[in-house]
Amino acid sequence: MRKAFNKELLKIAKRDPRVFMILADIGYGEIEEFAETFPDRFINCGVAEQNMTGVACGVAMEGNIAITYSIANFPTLRCLEQIRNDVCYHDANVKIVIIGGGMAYGELGISHHSTEDIAIMRALPNMVVLAPCDKAETVALTDAMMAYDGPVYFRCGYKGEPDLHNGPIEAKIGGSAQLRDGKAATVFFAGTVGVNAKQAVEELAAEGIDCRLVSLYSIKPIDKAAIIRAATETKGIVVLEEHNICGGVGSAVAEVLMDEGAGNVPFKRLAMPDVNATKVGCQAWMREQYGLGVNDVKKAVKSLLK
Q: What is the pLDDT of residues 120-174, one digit of tens each?
A: 999 999 999 999 999 999 999 999 999 999 999 999 999 889 999 999 999 999 9
CA 15 to chain centre: 26
Q: Do domains 2-156 and 177-305 have the same CATH topology?
A: yes
Cis peptide bond prior to 221, omega within 30° of 0 = yes
Mode of pairing for the β-strands spanning 212-215 and 186-190? parallel
pLDDT (tens digit per residue) in 182-214: 999 999 999 999 999 999 999 999 999 999 999
Q: For 2-156, which CATH class?
A: alpha beta
CA 195 to chain centre: 14
CATH 3.40.50.920 is right for the domain spanning 177-305 = yes
Residue ranges in the chain whose pLDDT is less than 50 = none
DSSP string, 231-254: HHHSS-EEEEEEEESSSSHHHHHH
pTM for the whole thing? Answer: 0.97
Domain locations along the chain = 2-156, 177-305
Q: What is the pLDDT of residue 27?
A: 83
CB neighbours of residue 28 within 10 Å: 9
Specify the pLDDT at position 29: 87
Burial of 210-241, coded b for 16+ CB within 10 Å and e otherwise, reads: ebbbbbbbbbbebbbebbbbbbeebbbbbbbb
Residue type at 21 in one-letter notation: M
